[in-house]
Chain A
């Protein structure tokens, strides 16, 4: 049972826009920045979005993040086959004194 709640799966066709939601509480998303990670099959996670909506260098502009209250979302526009991966949201949790992760969303490109 993850502290942050994500849908277990999402899907879209090439070129489509998909969004992945992440729900938390006042002790994590409500009071901290949200970060997103992408994990391609068989590889380590990669930081995709930090500080709610910032992209590290090298991350395509097709990826964007937003946050409102105790929820956040990741949007991927112009979906490509190489975007097929697991996506995790994360945020610092004040009551746990550490970061918490969502359970992950498996994105399938149809």
Chain B
């Protein structure tokens, strides 16, 4: 059974940093591109970042470019999101999502999310 479990969320002050993790199991992690998608309270979904299976290709939404860094460790079946210079507008539930492999931007498995709150 495919499982994605996020952790690392919490309350942080504006300008602060946080590192999110996503532990994957039930599939060959090293064969899939992975993504972070966020959802502000009461709002819609926003794609944040993608990383290819071997970390060769990395993409970011303009809203986080230069502040967030996505990475992965295939030996630990884990995905990460380093978030620096956090702003109030980064407050959201952050989901880890697996790319289906169809190269159409569809995400076939999602974690339960980890909540990040940026507030003084």
| A99–B59 CA distance with the chains assembled, in angstroms | 10
Which size bracket describes the interface of B in this complex?
A: 20 to 34
> Which residues of A30-69 are within 8 A (CB) of B?
32-33, 35, 37, 39, 43-47, 50-51, 56
Chain B, Cβ-Cβ closest to A50:
B106
Q: Does A102 contact B (CB under 8 A)?
A: yes
CA gap between A39 and B45 in the complex, in Å: 10
Cβ–Cβ contact B104 & A45, under 8 A: no
Using C-beta atoms within 8 Å of the partner chain, give the interface range for chain A.
Answer: 20 to 34
**Residue on B nearest A37 in the bound complex, by CB:** B45
Question: Which of chain B's residues has its CB closest to A35's CB?
Answer: B106
- A35 close to B45 (CB less than 8 A): no
B48-78 near A? 1/0 per residue, CB < 8 Å = 0010000000011110000000000000000
**Docked-complex contact B44 and A99, CB < 8 angstroms:** no
Interface of A is mostly: strand
Inter-chain contact B44/A90, CB cutoff 8 Å: no
B1 is an interface residue with CB less than 8 A from chain A:
no
B68 to chain A, nearest CB (A): 13
Per CB-CB distance, the 9 closest pairs between chain A and chain B, nearest first, are A99-B105, A92-B105, A35-B106, A44-B110, A33-B104, A50-B106, A104-B44, A101-B45, A103-B44
A-B contact pairs, 5 of them (CB 8 A): A33-B105, A51-B102, A90-B45, A90-B105, A90-B106
